[in-house]
Amino acid sequence: MESKILHESSTKSGGGFKMEEDSTAGGSDVESSFNVEIKVILRMILQTTMGVVVAAKKY
């Protein structure tokens, strides 16, 4: 299953983002492991970014 992040203004009025799942995409093991790796990488980037912001606020 493939997920896409769409801005709500592209689907209806209002702000923010929402997840849309594509039920037509095949749920292969390779695709699933790739998605997991991307999520892990994004989580690490966010944690690093938040750490930099917290460190900057201390000074």
Q: Could you please report the per-residue DSSP string of 7-44?
A: EGGGTSSSSSEEEEEETTS---HHHHHHHHHHHHHHHH
pLDDT tens digit sequence for 1-59: 455 555 544 445 444 555 555 555 555 677 788 888 999 899 888 888 777 766 667 65
Domain limits, the chain? 2-58
The DSSP bridge partners found for residue 3 are: 21
The predicted model scores a pTM of: 0.38
The token duo for 27 is: 């749920």
